[in-house]
Amino acid sequence: MRLHGVSKAFGRHTAVDRLDLEIEPGGIYGLLGPNGSGKTTTLRMIMGILRPDGGSAELFGRDPAHVRRREVGYLPEERGLYRRMRVLDVLLFLAEIRGVARRDAEPRARGWLRRLGLEGWWDRRVEDLSKGMQQKVQFVGTVLHEPSLLVLDEPFSGLDPINQDLLEEIVLEFRARGATVLLSTHLMDQAERLCERVCLLSGGKAVLEGDLRSLRVAERTGVVVVDFQGDEGWLSGPEVASVERRGDGLHLMLHPGADAGALLRRAVEAEVELRRFERVEPRLHEIFVRHAGGGSGAVAEGAR
Amino acid sequence: MRNVWIVLRREYLERVRTRWFLFGTLAGPLLLSAVVLLPALVVDSGPRAGDRLAVQDRTGVLLEGVAERLRAGGLEVVPAGTSPEETSRLRGAVTEGRLSGYLVLDEETLRSGRVSWYGEEAPGSLQGLSIRQAVVTTALTLQLRRQGVEPGALLAGGSLETTVLGSAGSDDAEGRFLLGFLGAFVLYMVILLYAVAVMRATLQEKTNRLVEVILSAMEPWHLMLGKILGVGAVGLTQLAVWLVVGGTAAVVGLPSLVERGVVAGDLSGLAGELEPRLGLVFAGLFLAGYVIYSSLYAAVGAMCTTDEEAQQAQLPVMFLILVPMLLIVPVLDQPASAFATGMSLVPFFTPILLWPRVVAGVVPGWQLALAFLLMAGTVLVVAWVAGRIYTVGVLMTGKRPTLSELWRWVREA
């Protein structure tokens, strides 16, 4: 999947601004960003539902508008189903428009519903279901045709932790089978748990993109947390810029470019009883806040 | 095309499976027949067959006519003498229940139509009416005959002998007028009903947010076509049921109604009009009108986000389909005029205005062909424009587009 210099504006508002994005097959890719940062618009362009104003989008090496049906499972941000139809009928319809024959889809749909704890509900009308149940039904509709690319827009919002775990498990299963998963979220814990690569969107632009591990390394702030017993003299070495006492130990702020290894050697030489020496990697949340301009209520809320 | 079929089937089944469809389809004709049949049944239940009543005629001239007319109404009439003993015997018979009651006719009856009824209970209002009518008609006939006038034709309501000057003369103007008006009205109702249903169906995916999922799997154009065809299929199903039920009712019910004199006029003339060619034209007009207006309504639905918004946005389209209904009276009146011809060839009006003209027999073959050709062209244009508005609009939420925005959609989609 490839986006090249893609832009999309609604009226005077630029939702996505010359975005480049490339996603290799396999793995879970996270599209992160505060509300209104262009995640949904980006996904819609990838799905070929919206046409970019400028630039080009490619899905499986083709124009997304012509990639349809079986390969892709799409769960949009705005959820909904035909309220007056029976659960099973809705699922069969969703499978059918993806090119799965009804008789193949039916046992599969029953299997999924059973797994998600909706056994016995398939003859009921959608409107009889709770919101959470409807959301699970729609998720089933997204994966029923076993797509090789799952595009999930905020897949876990509004679900309780148990069901979130259940869906996470299914997403991980799809990855294990070699499918590609592209999901957008503002829940940083989730992104940290699931994604191998992330792209951080802000104001329609990618402010950060790459492998989650190397991102964290690159974004290290130079904080070392230590806990020890003994003389504190070694702390006044040239590497340390400041010391802050916290509940879990001392937080040392190193000078930029300082060698944490040298500091560790100094501690060993000082023969203190070292219980903890940890180079702290920033949490995604912190990176996110730092790059997305922080302060935004949506971010704080999403990351809680 | 597979997608169109999937959408069509879902749309059809969802609609057909509702209780409202069952109710509307079955109860519709029932209600309609009830409206037609109820008066007949009520009249029927007026003077109940087997009701016995006696007639005491003090004038000596009315008995025969009154008795005959009452018997025609299904009553059993017993002539009675005028002596006081006879009167007390009649009273006895009424109290014992052997008679429902008895009528007394006298000179006053002959002059003013006043008649006296003696019975256990007052006659029902309809029974009373038929008694009065029998008496008055008899008295009137008698009085007129005494003046040397033959009252039969006058009492039957006279007749209008029409001579149509000019070419395409219509022999059964009344029946044609009725058929033309009813047909146009039914066309209007049915086209509007199902076109609005398409608008609602379009809104459905927007309000339940499924539109994105569906559009990630198929072209908007396919979705629109599936919806129009699906709803249209429901309409045809309903019409078919109505036709079967209505046809049966007409075949079984009408003759008996005519027999009872409930339905006035000569229906054989009307029935003669229902030839297969007219049926074909009717179906064609319905289909063309439905596709034109449902496409327009689909575009309206695609532009809006909520039902309330759609109610307002449909006004221009509503107006378009209302115009021919406003023109229907002049067209019915003079179906062959240049005005009627011109208006019935405007494709948006054709579905409704052509019908009364066809019924009147004033549409030559070339006009029929031209009308359908124009409608076919309009279908293509409207579907193309609506499809483009649909493509853009169906994903939009929020503010309704302005006309210039709409035009941009059509150009850019």
Inter-residue contact B199 to B310 (CB < 8 Å): yes
DSSP-assigned states of every residue in B145-174: HHTT---HHHHTT--------SSS--S-HH
Residues of B in contact with A60 (CB under 8 A): none
Asked if the Cβ–Cβ distance from A79 to B209 is below 8 Å, we say: yes
The CATH number given to B52-154 is 3.40.190.10
User: Does residue A296 fall inside a structural domain?
Assistant: no
A103-112 as b/e: b if 16+ CB within 10 A:
eebbebbeeb
User: Which chain B residue lies closest to A102 (C-alpha atoms)?
Assistant: B6
> Whole-number mean pLDDT of chain B?
79
Best of A10, A46, A47, A49 to disrupt the B interface (most B CBs within 10 Å) is A49
pLDDT band at B169 (very low <50, low <70, confident <90, very high): very low
Q: What does the pLDDT read at residue A111? A: 92
A300-303: Cβ within 8 A, 24+ apart: A302/A34, A302/A185, A302/A186, A302/A187, A302/A188, A303/A186, A303/A187, A303/A188, A303/A189
CA of B2 vs chain A CAs: smallest distance (Å): 8
User: Which chain B residue lies closest to A96 (C-alpha atoms)?
Assistant: B6
Helix (H, G, I), strand (E, B) or coil at A209: strand
User: What CATH number does residue A115 fall under?
Assistant: 3.40.50.300
CA distance readout (Å), A68 to B3, B86, B113, B227:
11, 97, 85, 20
Asked if the Cβ–Cβ distance from A80 to B6 is below 8 Å, we say: no
CA of A80 vs chain B CAs: smallest distance (Å): 5
Mean pLDDT on A177-183: 91
More confidently predicted of B254 and B27: B27
Best of B212, B394, B399 to disrupt the A interface (most A CBs within 10 Å) is B212
Output the six-digit token pair for B362: 């004033």
User: Does residue A199 fall inside a structural domain?
Assistant: yes
pLDDT single digits (tens) B378-396: 988 888 888 888 777 777 6
Q: Could you tell me the strand order of the sheet in which A54-58 lies?
A: A13-22, A2-10, A54-58
Mean pLDDT on B40-55: 61
Residues of B in contact with A47 (CB under 8 A): 212, 216
pLDDT single digits (tens) A248-278: 788 888 877 777 888 888 888 888 888 888 8
Tokens 């210039």 locate to: B404
User: Does residue A287 fall inside a structural domain?
Assistant: no
**Strand-pair category, A249-254 with A240-246:** antiparallel
pLDDT single digits (tens) B80-116: 888 888 888 888 888 887 888 888 888 888 888 888 8
> Whole-number mean pLDDT of chain A?
82
Residues contacting B212, CB < 8 A, separation 6+: A44, A47, A49, A74, A76, A78, B395
CA of A177 vs chain B CAs: smallest distance (Å): 23
Please indicate, yes or no, whether residues A96 and A228 belong to a single structural domain of this protein.
no
Residues of A in contact with B215 (CB under 8 A): 49
Residues of B in contact with A81 (CB under 8 A): 208, 210
**Strand-pair category, A180-185 with A249-254:** unpaired
**Strand-pair category, A197-202 with A27-32:** parallel
Q: What does the pLDDT read at residue B399? A: 63
Please tell me the distance from the alpha carbon of residue B246 to that of residue B294, in angstroms, as a whole number: 26
Q: What does the pLDDT read at residue A225? A: 85
Q: What does the pLDDT read at residue B246? A: 66
Q: Is pLDDT at B167 greater than 50 in this prediction? A: no
Residues contacting A285, CB < 8 A, separation 6+: A188, A189, A303
**Number of CB pairs < 8 Å for A and B?**
58
CA of B45 vs chain A CAs: smallest distance (Å): 45
Q: Is pLDDT at A113 greater than 50 in this prediction? A: yes
Please indicate, yes or no, whether residues A172 and A231 belong to a single structural domain of this protein.
no
Cβ-in-10-Å burial (0-12, 13-18, 19+) of A304 comes to exposed
Q: ∠ at Cα A209 (A191, A211), nearest 5°? A: 65
Q: What does the pLDDT read at residue B257? A: 57
Tokens 């069952």 locate to: B22
Asked if the Cβ–Cβ distance from B217 to A78 is below 8 Å, we say: no
Please indicate, yes or no, whether residues A121 and A237 belong to a single structural domain of this protein.
no
Q: What does the pLDDT read at residue B264? A: 45
Closest C-alpha among A143, A188, A186 to residue A166:
A143
Q: Is pLDDT at B122 greater than 80 in this prediction? A: no
Inter-residue contact A288 to A32 (CB < 8 Å): yes
User: Does residue A288 fall inside a structural domain?
Assistant: no
Q: What is the DSSP letter of A238?
A: T
pLDDT single digits (tens) A158-177: 788 888 889 999 999 999 99
Please indicate, yes or no, whether residues A7 and A149 belong to a single structural domain of this protein.
yes
Name the residue range of residue A86's domain.
2-216
pLDDT single digits (tens) B205-232: 887 778 888 888 888 888 888 999 999 8
Please indicate, yes or no, whether residues A20 and A115 belong to a single structural domain of this protein.
yes
3-state helix, strand, coil in chain B (%, to 5): 70, 5, 25
Please indicate, yes or no, whether residues A243 and A260 belong to a single structural domain of this protein.
yes
Asked if the Cβ–Cβ distance from B212 to A85 is below 8 Å, we say: no
Please tell me the distance from the alpha carbon of residue A279 to that of residue B216, in angstroms, as a whole number: 46
Rounded to the nearest angstrom, the gap between the alpha carbon of residue B262 and the centroid of all alpha carbons in its chain is 17
DSSP-assigned states of every residue in B1-57: -HHHHHHHHHHHHHHHTSHHHHIIIIIHHHHHHHHHHHHHHHHHTSS-TT-EEEEEE
Confidence check on the interface: ipTM exceeds 0.85, yes or no? no
Asked if the Cβ–Cβ distance from B217 to A69 is below 8 Å, we say: yes
According to CATH, where is 3.40.190.10 located in chain B? 52-154
Q: What does the pLDDT read at residue A182? A: 92
Of the candidates A216, A233, A257, which is a domain's last residue?
A216
Please indicate, yes or no, whether residues A33 and A155 belong to a single structural domain of this protein.
yes
pLDDT band at A298 (very low <50, low <70, confident <90, very high): very low
Helix (H, G, I), strand (E, B) or coil at A254: strand
Q: What does the pLDDT read at residue B46? A: 44
pLDDT single digits (tens) B31-46: 766 665 665 555 544 4
Cβ-in-10-Å burial (0-12, 13-18, 19+) of A47 comes to buried
The predicted model scores a pTM of: 0.68
Residues contacting B74, CB < 8 A, separation 6+: B47, B48, B49, B51
More confidently predicted of B39 and A213: A213
- Percentage of residues of chain B with pLDDT beyond 90: 10
Please indicate, yes or no, whether residues A108 and A246 belong to a single structural domain of this protein.
no
Tokens 């029927």 locate to: B44
Closest C-alpha among B140, B85, B128, B125 to residue B103:
B128
Please indicate, yes or no, whether residues A122 and A194 belong to a single structural domain of this protein.
yes
Q: What is the count of structural domains for chain A? A: 2
Closest C-alpha among B323, B247, B235 to residue B286:
B235
Nearest to A47 among B204, B216, B218 (CB): B216
User: Does residue A241 fall inside a structural domain?
Assistant: yes
Neighbours of B32 (CB within 10 A): 14
Question: In this structure, what is the dihedral angle of CA atoms A257, A261, A264, A269, given to the nearest 10 degrees?
Answer: -110
B282-286: Cβ within 8 A, 24+ apart: B282/B183, B282/B187, B282/B355, B284/B372, B285/B187, B285/B350, B285/B351, B285/B352, B285/B354, B285/B355, B286/B187, B286/B190, B286/B191, B286/B239, B286/B351
Residues contacting B99, CB < 8 A, separation 6+: B52, B53, B54, B78, B90, B93, B119
Helix (H, G, I), strand (E, B) or coil at B379: helix
Residue type, B300: V
Please indicate, yes or no, whether residues A39 and A79 belong to a single structural domain of this protein.
yes
Q: What does the pLDDT read at residue B53? A: 85
- Helices (DSSP H) in A5-99: which residue ranges? 39-46, 87-97
Q: How many residues does chain A have?
A: 304
Helix or strand run (H / E) with residue A9: strand A2-10
Backbone angles phi, psi at B320, to 5 degrees: -60, -40
Q: What does the pLDDT read at residue A296? A: 42
Please indicate, yes or no, whether residues A244 and A102 belong to a single structural domain of this protein.
no
pLDDT single digits (tens) B344-376: 999 999 999 999 898 888 888 899 999 999 999
Q: In angstroms, how far is the first alpha carbon of chain B from the final one? A: 21
Inter-residue contact A70 to A101 (CB < 8 Å): no
List the beta bridge partners of residue A16: A8
Inter-residue contact A147 to A170 (CB < 8 Å): no
Q: What is the DSSP letter of B208?
A: T
Q: How many residues does chain B have?
A: 413
User: Does residue A141 fall inside a structural domain?
Assistant: yes
Please indicate, yes or no, whether residues A210 and A248 belong to a single structural domain of this protein.
no
User: Does residue A300 fall inside a structural domain?
Assistant: no
pLDDT band at B262 (very low <50, low <70, confident <90, very high): very low
Asked if the Cβ–Cβ distance from B213 to A69 is below 8 Å, we say: no
- Helices (DSSP H) in chain A: which residue ranges? 39-46, 87-97, 102-115, 131-143, 161-176, 188-194, 212-218, 260-269, 284-291, 297-303
Nearest to B212 among A76, A81, A84 (CB): A76
Q: In angstroms, how far is the first alpha carbon of chain A from the final one? A: 31
